Every structure is written in C-alpha cells, then in structure tokens.
Amino acid sequence: VAIKSFPDSRPCNVLVHDDHKVFVAYEPVFPRSLSLESCEGDVKAANLEFTHDTAVHVKGIQQLQSSGDFIQTPPIPLYHAHVLWSFALRIERVKDQKSAISLVSIGPHLGLDNSEKKGSLGRNQPRALNMPRVLGATMSVIKEKGEEEEEGESIMLSPGAGGALAAQQQYTAEELVALAGGEVLRVRLRLIVSRSYFALSKIIDLKARTTTVTDRAEGILDLIVRGERPPGYDWAITVAESEVPGPGLFFVHKAALGSISDIFKVTFQTSHSYEDQVLMVTGESRCIVPALTTEDMKVVVPLVYGLYAPLPERWQRVSALGRTLCRLFKADLMTGVVFPQWERALCAQALAVDKSLLSSFVDIFRVLTIVWSCPYGSMPVAKRVAVRYNNNNNNNNNNNK
C-alpha cells in the first residue's frame, strides 16, 4: 500500500543556530480533502510505503561551517491506524568539509520542543511505542523541468548510528548545491514499514480487565451511591449540590478512604480539617468536601473501594472532578488507575461512533473535550483515536457536499 504523507515541500529555514542546536520553522500542513487513512494499492498488503516531499534552503546548507552543525526539516510523519512515528531529514556537517544526509528518529509525536509543560504528566505520547523497523528507505532529488517535475536517481538510506537511516555517500556543499539546481533542495522520501506496526493494540490494551466486582460489592456500592447506610459504615461525607438530582450525604468506611488518600488519613487521625478541602464537623463522624458534588460520587465511590474508575456522566464535570481527585487522592492512583481507565473508555466511545452520521461530530468533540480537560500527557492514545475519526468525518462530509 502506498501512503501519501502530509505533503510539505516548503523549504525549512534555520531560525536560531547556536552551539550545534537548530530550531526550524514548523507548521503542520494537511489538505482538507485528504483522509488520514488515505492510501493507494492493496489495502491488505503486509507492508506500507510512505511517500513524503520535503525541502531545505541551499543557503542553510552553505551556512554549515563546523563539524556537528546541521539543518533538518520539520517532522516527517509515518501515520496509519492511530499509530504515529516521525522522522526528520537532516544534513549534518562532518569531517573533510563534507555533509552527511540521514533520516533521524523524532519519536511518536510531531513536536520538536522537548521541554516539560507545567502541570503535565510528561509528553503527550504513548509510552509503550518503540521506533518502527524500516524495511526500506530511499531519497530522490526533485527538479522542475518546465511545468513538470523530474525525479532523480534514488539514494538508499541504510540503518546507521542511533537509529538513523543514512546515505552511504557524503557530499560537499558544492555537490549539494549542484544537486539542488537552484535555491532549494527538494527531495522525495519513501519509507517502507510493516503494517503490523500500525496496530492500536501496540499503544493501548482496550481489553485490560478492571477489578472483578462481586454481586455483594456491587450491592454495597449501590447503597452508598443512593445515600443509604451500608453494613459497617463509620463515617459520612457531605458534598455540594449538582445539576444532577441525588443525595448530598454519603455513608462510607474510614478504612477505605484512608487507604487511598493521605489527606483523609491525616484528617481521621487528627480530627482536624485539611485546608479548605476536607472540613470536619465538630462532634460528628462527618466531614464536608465542598469540591465534590452528588454526581461526582458516582465516580468517587467505586474508586474509593478499589473497583473501577468510571467516566463522569457529564463531560462538563471532568475538569473540576479531575483537579479534585488529584488533590484528594494519591498520585499513583490517578496515573495508574483513573486516567488509564478513562482513556480506555474514551477510546471505546470514539471507536463506536458511526462515522456515517453527521451527529457523530458531537460525539467525537465530546471525547476531545474530555481529553483536553485532563492533564496534558494523560490521554495520548484517546487524543489520537478521536482526532483520526474527526478528520475522516470532516473529509467524508466535505467530499459529500
């Protein structure tokens, strides 16, 4: 199968060049009429061939003076079926006044900024994905011949150091200028990767089991959520009212709360309020949690009892509830249970959308809203799944107009 990648043959400009670091202009380009899954050929083929046109300014090549100086293009995406890995074409000055041409691995993202964002859970990318094994890679120079393009001889790119794919031959600046035949060196890249690499199961396990819920445990949960008294309860929590009708007082067990929340544990031990988050009621075995609402407890109660973390019923509560849970409960509970389970649920929702219906836009944007309401880096796979379906829906509807 041949896949035409994001077409981008604009020259790449070096904006800042200091201490062998390079910063390049980057603007994602994607035609509205082209689906993310657009391909040509046998849709069941074992391998996928990605084609990408890109370019660099000759002036930038001529500015490479010292060994280690380099110029590189914006990220070149290899994307299919929710899975993304990107490379960049790099021309680097080496010894003997020559330059090496290579494709360097960028990662499962399209960004060049590696700095950590404040309040994030790391880069917004799947944690389990490794660089694909490239079965074949070539580069050919494109020149204009009248109103047509002429593609020159293919240059093989073979595996080299650090996972890069490098051309065996090295070039002087004059040779590269001659290859360009003008102010811009335009090239066409072709990379072949096994289809099996592009599988959603590589980046998320949608079949991962949550804790098995017994009928007895489910019954106790139902009692608590309805505001009734379960067997052995020894504490009560008052929450704020919400737009969803329900009880404002919930009867729970201190041991369950204290096991997953240091804040509640300290509050129980000291009998003192914790800032404005947990307010103790004098003379009662009860506290007030102003940031939680009646509808939030349908998420909190199963979580407290170690069973599962359901998505909030209304997407409007995701952001506020997420912040509250992060303050009240242990960090590993959020990163190891809540966000992974929410992400699996969001992926399942996005995959179940009927793309033929115009109303599917609403469903996909709801998923995206929840993703963007959670901490940066907590929903990388759900974001990719939703964006893919949103793009395909948009293009399908545009084509049907």
In single-letter form, the type of residue at position 82 comes to H
What DSSP line would sit under 40-106, residue for residue? BS-TT-SEEEEEEEEEEEHHHHHT--STT-EEEPSPEEEEETTEEEEEEEEEEE-STTEEEEEEEEE
Element (H, E) at 384: helix 380-400
Q: Please classify residue 347 by burial: count the beta carbons closer than 10 Å to its beta carbon, then call 0-12 exposed, 13-18 middle and 19+ buried.
A: buried
Amino acid of residue 310: P
Beta carbons of 126 and 133 less than 8 angstroms apart: no
Percentage of the chain with pLDDT > 90? 47
Q: What's the pTM value of the predicted model, to 2 decimals?
A: 0.79
Please determine, for residue 20, whether its predicted confidence score (pLDDT) is greater than 70.
no
Residue keyed to tokens 């000759």: 58
Whether 6 has a pLDDT exceeding 50, the answer reads: no
Count of beta carbons in the 10 Å neighbourhood of residue 173: 18
Position 44, amino acid: K
Q: Give the DSSP H/E element, type plus range, for residue 220.
A: helix 215-225
pLDDT one-digit tens code per residue, 95-138: 888 999 999 999 998 877 767 777 788 888 888 889 999 999 99
Percent of the chain with pLDDT over 70: 85
Which letter, b or e, does each residue of 10-31 get, where b requires 16 or more Cβ atoms within 10 Å of its Cβ?
bbbebeebeeeebebebeeeee
For residue 317, which amino acid is it? R
Q: Are 89 and 101 in contact (CB under 8 A)?
A: yes
* Dist CA 270 CA 83 (whole Å): 50
- Pick the range with the lowest mean pLDDT from 25-39, 329-343, 368-382: 25-39
Whether residue 137 contacts residue 191, with contact meaning beta carbons closer than 8 Å, is answered with yes
143 band by pLDDT with thresholds 50, 70 and 90: confident
- The 8-class DSSP code of residue 110 comes to S
DSSP code per residue over 296-324: THHHHHHHHTTS--PPPSSGGGHHHHHHH
pLDDT at 293 over 90: yes
Q: How far apart are CA 148 and CA 230, in angstroms?
A: 78
Which pLDDT belongs to residue 141? Answer: 92
Q: State both tokens at 13.
A: 């400009």
Per-residue confidence (pLDDT) for residue 216, from 0 to 100: 78
**Per mean pLDDT, which range of 209-218, 280-289, 333-342 is the poorest?**
209-218
Give the whole-angstrom CA distance, residue 253 versus residue 302.
13
pLDDT for 11 beyond 60: no
Q: Does residue 2 or residue 163 have the better pLDDT?
A: 163
- Give the largest Cα separation in the chain, rounded: 90
Pair of tokens at residue 179: 């290859």
Confidence of residue 144 (pLDDT cuts 50, 70, 90): confident
Long-range contacts of 114-117 (CB under 8 A, 24+ apart): 117/376, 117/377
**Residue 108 and residue 126 in contact, taking contact as beta carbons nearer than 8 Å:** yes
Taking all residues of the chain, what is their mean pLDDT, rounded to a whole number? 84
- Please, what is the Cα angle at 156 between 153 and 160, to 5 degrees? 155
Q: Which amino acid is at 80?
A: H
pLDDT digits (tens, 9 = 90+) for 215-263: 777 888 899 999 999 999 999 999 998 888 889 999 999 999 999 999 9
Q: Which tokens is 358 given? A: 């115009």
Q: Are strands 2-4 and 47-57 parallel, antiparallel or unpaired?
A: parallel
Beta bridge partners of 77: 86
Report pLDDT for 397.
Answer: 47
Element (H, E) at 347: helix 339-351
In the block, which residue shows the tokens 């960028």?
106
Contact 390, 382 (CB under 8 A): no
Q: What are phi and psi of 226, to 5 degrees?
A: -80, -5
Averaged pLDDT, 43-47: 84
Predicted confidence at residue 398, as pLDDT, reads 45
Report pLDDT for 146. Answer: 67
Q: Which residue has the higher pLDDT, 351 or 398?
A: 351
